[in-house]
Structure 1
Amino acid sequence: MKDIEKLDKEYVLHTYARNYINFKKGLNATLFDDENRDYVDFTSGIGVTSVGHGNARVAKKIFEQASNLLHTSNLYVIEPQALLAKKIKELSGYDVRTFFANSGAEANEGAIKIARTYGEIKFEKKRYKIITLENSFHGRTITTVKATGQSSFHQSKFAPYPDGFSFNAIDDVYNAIDDETVAVMIELVQGEGGILPFPKDKIQELAKFLKDNNILLIIDEVQTGVYRTGEFLASNLYEIEPDIITLAKGLGGGVPIGAVITKHKDIWGAGDHGSTFGGNYLVTSTGLEVLDILEELKDSGKLDETIIYFTKKLDELYENNRDIFITHVGLGLMRGLRVKDGDTLALLIKTAFECGVMVLKSGNNTLRFLPALTISKFEIDEGFKRLQATLNKIK
Structure 2
Amino acid sequence: MIDLVNGSGSYVYDQNGTAYLDFMSGIAVSNLGHKNPKVMQALHEQSQKIWHSSNLYTNHLQESIAEKLTMGKNYLAFFCNSGTEANEAAIKLARKATGRPKIISFLQSFHGRTYGALSATGQPQLQQGFFPIVEGFDYVPYNQLEALKELLDENVAAVMLEVIQGEGGVIPAEKAWLQAVAKLCKANGSLLIIDEIQTGMGRTGNFYAFEAYQIEPDIITLAKALANGIPVGAMLGKKELAEAFGPGSHGTTFGGNNLAMKVAETVVSQINQPEFLADVKAKGAFLKAELAKLTGESEKVVEVRGEGLMLGVQLDSAETLQTVIQTLKQEKLLAIKAGGNVLRLLPPLTISQSELEKGVAIINQAILQ
What range describes the TM-score normalised by the shorter chain of this pair? Answer: over 0.9
Distance in 1 separating the partners of 2:278 and 2:215: 24
Corresponding residue for residue 248 of structure 2 = 271
Q: Given residue 104 of structure 1, which amino acid in structure 2 is its aligned partner?
A: G
Corresponding residue for residue 308 of structure 1 = 285
How far does residue 327 in structure 1 lie from its aligned partner after superposition?
0.7
Of the candidates 171, 189, 199, which is equivalent to residue 164 of structure 2?
189
Corresponding residue for residue 28 of structure 1 = 9
Distance in 2 separating the partners of 1:260 and 1:133: 20
How far does residue 95 in structure 1 lie from its aligned partner after superposition?
1.0
Of the candidates 71, 75, 79, which is equivalent to residue 60 of structure 2?
79
- Identify which range, 182-191 or 261-270, moves more after superposition: 261-270
Corresponding residue for residue 148 of structure 2 = 173
Distance in 1 separating the partners of 2:148 and 2:125: 21
Cα deviation per residue 1:32-79 (whole Å; 9 max; x = unaligned)?
A: 223222111111000000100111110111010011111111111111
How far does residue 297 in structure 1 lie from its aligned partner after superposition?
6.4
Corresponding residue for residue 339 of structure 1 = 315
Cα deviation per residue 1:11-34 (whole Å; 9 max; x = unaligned)?
A: xxxxxxxxx212222111111223
Cα deviation per residue 1:180-238 (whole Å; 9 max; x = unaligned)?
A: 21111011110011100111001101101110121111111111111111111111111
Identity level (%):
38
Corresponding residue for residue 347 of structure 2 = 371
- Identify which range, 354-363 or 321-330, moves more after superposition: 321-330
- SS of equivalent to 2:362: helix
Corresponding residue for residue 362 of structure 2 = 386
Distance in 1 separating the partners of 2:266 and 2:27: 20
How far does residue 300 in structure 1 lie from its aligned partner after superposition?
7.4
Distance in 2 separating the partners of 1:79 and 1:28: 30
Corresponding residue for residue 16 of structure 1 = none
Distance in 1 separating the partners of 2:362 and 2:59: 45
Of the candidates 84, 89, 98, which is equivalent to residue 119 of structure 1?
98
Corresponding residue for residue 109 of structure 1 = 88
Residues 131 and 184 in structure 1, CA contact (< 8 A), matched pair in contact too: yes
Q: TM-score, normalised by structure 1?
A: 0.89
Moved over 6 A (4+): none
Residues 136 and 190 in structure 1, CA contact (< 8 A), matched pair in contact too: yes
Corresponding residue for residue 250 of structure 1 = 225
Aligned length in residues? 364
How far does residue 160 in structure 1 lie from its aligned partner after superposition?
1.7
- SS of equivalent to 1:231: coil
Residues 204 and 281 in structure 2, CA contact (< 8 A), matched pair in contact too: no
How far does residue 383 in structure 1 lie from its aligned partner after superposition?
1.4
How far does residue 365 in structure 1 lie from its aligned partner after superposition?
1.0
Residues 355 and 389 in structure 1, CA contact (< 8 A), matched pair in contact too: no
Matched, 1:99 2:78: yes
Residues 129 and 182 in structure 1, CA contact (< 8 A), matched pair in contact too: yes
- SS of equivalent to 1:178: coil
Cα deviation per residue 1:272-308 (whole Å; 9 max; x = unaligned)?
A: 1111000110111100110111124645743333223
What are the equivalent positions in structure 2 for 1:135-214 lying under 5 Å apart? 135-155=108-128, 157-169=129-141, 170-171=144-145, 172-214=147-189
How far does residue 319 in structure 1 lie from its aligned partner after superposition?
4.2
Residues 81 and 284 in structure 1, CA contact (< 8 A), matched pair in contact too: yes
Gap regions ≥5 residues in structure 1:
1-19, 121-126
Residues 153 and 188 in structure 2, CA contact (< 8 A), matched pair in contact too: no
Distance in 1 separating the partners of 2:139 and 2:218: 19
How far does residue 135 in structure 1 lie from its aligned partner after superposition?
0.6
